[in-house]
A and B are shown apart, each in its own frame.
Chain A
């Protein structure tokens, strides 16, 4: 028999107090991952904490000179929001490639991170734009860089009693160009075989800043390190080398979506494609 207790807190305070008190708490935001997992794992018992009534989790607004996106904002709102489209266009693009229309109407940007799937689409641009996560618990609020949030497939830095409140993104400097590639078997609806987000700033053809994040090619999203050496270099000359560094950073495995060799090749090609797009 299913043993589920349903809770519908109206405030963050109520929610975090529930999370610290009850056993087997599961947060229901969009439910698109949770319910699938619940069905697949033989209907485990849970204290279901539905956070959809908490208004503060669904805001998109400017705070402290940065953009705050609540964890409960659905993917369709991410796709359509003018501020996101203007300042963080590849976040909107990545959100538009999550699941299907029906999924995007329910799934949330916070859930996409908290589910911690290596293939999560919106995580890549968020990291590339340098997003921080705001984590709340009964004892207060803490922040960390999103890139440090992921601890393994399905594992995050969230401790018991904590929940994700939202993302805080610094506005990119003028001249910054983001590019996103989701390589999948089927354009219609699929998980990424390889995902790539790049955020590049050029100054007279020379690289002034570069950030590359890879998805589905390791246990957690990979924020490629060691790209600072290319700052000051001509993009045209450096792009092949950067793609090489990224390919070396990827740790793909073979699964039903693709072999590690193919994935590796798609990382190289997708990064090159992004960099080429950034210089246009």
Chain B
């Protein structure tokens, strides 16, 4: 039997929703804002020790000797580990290239050299200061542009030329198109190193039992899936690794598989006591997994009416010292955007290189944000060359429902046209362009501009596990009629717990107080990949649709026995099964649930649901096949004022218009859109994790690595267009990443509109703007 459901078999219809589509505060919001929620950092177990790591001060160096004798003698120290005295294997989610503790060589400033467990953090710090490490510094690769140069220092012996992956995906005869096209445009763009800046740094608490099982209470987006990586790192069978995911302070992608969890577990194994291993903020800046910096060479071909004929992209991507998810992120940057535009011929090539800097990883958009910055800047340049409005050029080429692109991806629901048109109307885009054009001709030192960029992302990306894609939900009704939801599309602050609660409440006509979504525990929840690739809403609500129907059938069956009425006469209403013909006849869920527990002694009623996205297949060796069932679209618009005397940009207003299929929680969607745009605004104008020539980060603190504060963020207008994704039960696509992706290029385009200068690298700071203006004016 094929694992893939044929698309023609699936066509869900929009239901008559009562809760779905309304605005609901997060079910866990009050506990969070009143300080009751226990985060990873708050966890304390009996006998718990603290762990800290000694980190390399060199970007690249050989370890000649480590002397831990003084540290071991310090009172309060339980154990001191180095790469030489523990058993370990190289691990990594894609490429196994990293040890928990370096053995012979360190590859970036922050690389773990030794670790200690002690009674408190201060003793750990003191112990670390007593460890003597002798290094032989080696020449380092501090720029991705140097990585592949002849004679460059080699970081990993297995990867000559520092190239971890080289991809080449050609579709069609591109050179002929370039030769014959009416207009060919080329440009180069660079997306910078951006830190996720979640509120809680990476961390976990690990405890081993006497049978060799480890439990890690972890701030993690992918509990079930990361067990596999962690088992490799710890060199134990995967069934020995249990992960419990308590509430944690956000991830934005950084908190998939992380070094901090298996290293904490390793320390706990040797200390033979529970160990809390949480990074401080400086460490988190130094060795979290920030965004993969990328350089793009883009070349596109067009006819005179603005029809998009071909696109060629060549990417250089910097994964830092270890690979993490760099390969998958680079692939996404190469071609994800190809489902938004109908371009028949697309070539993409990429080199993913190692450098002696922080390992880079997943961050909202997963390479697609970097590409949107490059591509949507490029398209504005093309529109200007062709004398077209920026939206008109896009509208001329956007995908339509059913569009199959050259990679074999098929778009189902597509409301990108509505997103763009609504964005233009709400922002009064064309009127403002005219007004600003006249205004900018005056002597005013302030110049005004407005810019736009459409955006696309997936709802789940089938390219990680060959035989698996989808999601599962297990509902359990206890003997009081309370429903528990077990699912492996976890909450990391994005609100999926509330989304799932709303689906149960809507479908089973049950109030929120009788629905609980426990923290995921890999000993209990169904298998699932976790929270990345904007999977959550699409996959989990797809599975939930089946699970609630399963439970509904069971409720009606038992109620029919209690009420002695035919099942066809029964419906659900207000926590009870009610007769359609005589509404006075009804039975509440507690009574039904109790009967179930008595009839099947002790058994709780279960609702089982699983979801396979229709028409989605694992990519073949040429990266062909549809990777997602629900492509989510949007259009971002930004209006700015640029002070030409200081270069400072004031963003007046931003708009985020999105196609998310059927909205589940409109309040949460609005929050996601505002948060996404605010974060993108930071990436575009402020944020840049910078390295000095010594290979150290020069702004590893929030004073110098600036993110926008509430006082900086302008008004953000969020709006959803009418849509329904028919491949999933409740018709919902995901928002998580799509709402970040368009705003950086929209801001770039707005700044260009204001001052006529385009910036080819992020962030666009006041200082860069002033320098560019002076150059433009020949000063």
Contact = CB atoms under 8 A, between A and B. Distances in A.
A219 B706 CA distance: 23
Contacts of B645: 269
A256 B699 contact: yes
B767 A259 contact: yes
A266 to B, nearest CB: 7
Contacts of A187: 711-712
Contact of A186 (B646, B708, B767): B708
Contact of A185 (B123, B698, B710, B765): B765
B573 interface: no
Interface residues of A, number: 21
Contact of B770 (A189, A256, A262): A262
Given A185-B686, A188-B709, A269-B646, A2 B699 contact: no
Nearest to A183: B646
A265 B766 CA distance: 12
A266 B766 CA distance: 11
A228 B310 CA distance: 67
B694 interface: no
Interface string A33-44: 000000000110
Contacts of B703: 191
A1 interface: yes
B752 to A, nearest CB: 21
A266 B767 CA distance: 10
Interface in B213-241: none
A42 B125 contact: yes
B706 A186 contact: yes
A189 to B, nearest CB: 5
A183 B648 CA distance: 10
B704 interface: yes
Nearest to A2: B122
Contacts of B646: 183, 266, 269
A190 B706 contact: yes
A247 to B, nearest CB: 14
Contacts of A258: 767
B698 A186 contact: no
Contacts of A52: none
B297 interface: no
B125 to A, nearest CB: 7
A257 interface: yes
Nearest to B766: A185
B758 interface: no
B690 interface: yes
Contacts of A190: 706
Contacts of B767: 258-259, 262
Contacts of A1: 122-123
Contacts of B704: 256-257
Nearest to A259: B767
Contacts of A257: 704
Interface string A175-189: 000000001011111
B698 A256 contact: yes
B698 to A, nearest CB: 6
A188 B712 CA distance: 5
A258 B767 CA distance: 7
Interface in B519-536: none
Interface of B: 122-123, 125, 645-646, 686, 690, 698-699, 703-704, 706, 708-712, 765-767, 770-771
17 contacts: A1-B123, A185-B766, A186-B708, A186-B709, A187-B712, A188-B708, A188-B710, A188-B711, A188-B712, A189-B711, A257-B704, A258-B767, A262-B766, A262-B771, A265-B770, A266-B646, A269-B645
Interface of A: 1-2, 42-43, 100, 183, 185-191, 256-259, 262, 265-266, 269
Given A186-B708, A190-B706, A262-B770, 18 more contacts: A1-B123, A2-B122, A42-B125, A185-B686, A185-B765, A186-B686, A186-B709, A186-B712, A187-B712, A188-B708, A188-B710, A256-B704, A257-B704, A258-B767, A259-B767, A262-B767, A266-B646, A269-B645
